[in-house]
Structures are given as C-alpha cells and as structure tokens.
Amino acid sequence: MRVSVIIPTHNEAQAIQRVLADLPSDLTTEVIVVDSNSNDGTPEIAARMGARVIQEPRRGYGRACLTGLAAANSPDVVVFLDGDYSDRPSELPILLAPIIEGRADITLGSRLQGRRSAGALPWHQVFGNRLAASLIRLLFSSPYGLEITDLGPFRAGRGDVLRALALEETTYGWAVEMILKGALAGYRVVEVPVSYYPRIGKSKISGTLKGTVGAGWFILSLIVRYYFRHRRAGKTRPA
C-alpha cells in the first residue's frame, strides 16, 4: 500500500525534525512538506530529513493540503499531519488501521476521545471543536452516520476517494469539506482516538483571537452552507 504523508508548514523549524523522525518508515512511501513562506529554515530541515519540499506561497491551510494532494505520487492512502508535533506521527498505524482493514474510506484522529496532555488544547479550541462536531452530528448523523467528536488535523483518506471528492476549500473550512463531501457521497468516515500534546512553537490559530475567530467562522459557515445546499438538491431531485 502506497502511503503519502502531507505536512503543511509555516515556520516549524523547532518541531519539523521530530515530526519527520517519528513517522514509521515501514508505513510511509513518501513525505511531502508543503511550506508557506517559512523564514526560519523549516524547508531546509525537512529536505535534509528526506522529505520532498514544495513551496506554496499562497496562503490558506486548505490550499497547502490541496497542493500536497496534487503532488502526491499515485498514493493508495493520503495522510494529513500538522508540522508542530502536537499529534504523534508514531500513531500512524492507529489512523491507517480502519482503512487497511476495509472498514473506512476516511479516518479522523479525535483529540477529544484520546489521551490529551494538559494545556494541549486551549478551552476555546475545545469549545469550538465540540460545537462544530455537535452541529455536524445534528445535521448529518442521519442517514450518513456522522458521529464525530472532533475536527482534528491528523487524518487519512483513500487516494481514489479524495480525488473523487474534488476538494476545493483553501481555508480552514477544508477540514469540514472533506468530512461532509465524503459522507454525502456515501463514503465511510470513521473516527479513531489519538493522543494530543502542546505544540512546539506558537500557534497560528489558537495563539491569536483573530486566528481563532477566523477559523471558527469558516468552519461553522461551511457546515450550514452544505446542509442547505444538500436540502435544496434533495428537493429538486427528480422522482
């Protein structure tokens, strides 16, 4: 099974070496670091560690993930992982297991179901993730079975499924787009518990009020937009 790991980065020089060193080499076919204008040596460190580094000067978390996805070399499974060492790359087998066993098409690592180190998630991030997950369960649990608890960045999907979904969100709404498009298309979205630790370095989202509010707006508005879009499509579908 070919597994491509995509890691978006921006100034993660303090953490990227540990992230890459902890990836299980027996499960990883290629590692793609998509760097957005780092000026602290992140891409150079990643290249020395054997990763393929792609520069993506355009801003947006989703854009970085899409750039990496487009560059992946015929993967069977694509894994997305942040470069701050808050998720543990060594837990990759946990994330891949449902896909390898044929029980899932997309897997999500839940930080709220797994072991979470004190201070790893600020209260407003916990609240925002619970709110978004609750809204998804309320609007999409039936008949799509979306019983998720978290919108964590550590996730994986079958390569053919991700290509079929034609993902296009360039903001933090990209994380929700994958889940909702996947469920609405009939793919199996499964959550697994993963551990979570305080990130190395300063967060670009939770570290600022602007980042937190901006990410929350993109995520919540996208959930509501997809709900009403799907309802309209259902009403206009021929009998």
Calpha distance 8→84 (Å, rounded) = 10
pLDDT confidence of residue 164: 96
Model confidence over 184-217: pLDDT tens digits? Answer: 899 999 999 999 998 886 665 545 556 667 777 7
Report the mean per-residue pLDDT for the chain.
88
Give the residue extent of every domain in the chain. Answer: 3-236
pLDDT band at 91 (very low <50, low <70, confident <90, very high): very high
Q: Is the pLDDT of residue 8 over 80?
A: yes
Q: Give the homologous superfamily in CATH for domain 3-236.
A: Spore Coat Polysaccharide Biosynthesis Protein SpsA; Chain A (3.90.550.10)
Calpha distance 231→233 (Å, rounded) = 5
Rounded to two decimals, the pTM is 0.88
Q: Please tell me what DSSP assigns to residue 49.
A: T
**How large a percentage of the chain has pLDDT more than 70?**
88
pLDDT band at 6 (very low <50, low <70, confident <90, very high): very high
Can you read off the two tokens belonging to residue 41? 């040596």
Among 237, 138, 226, 146, which residue's Cα sits nearest to residue 187?
146
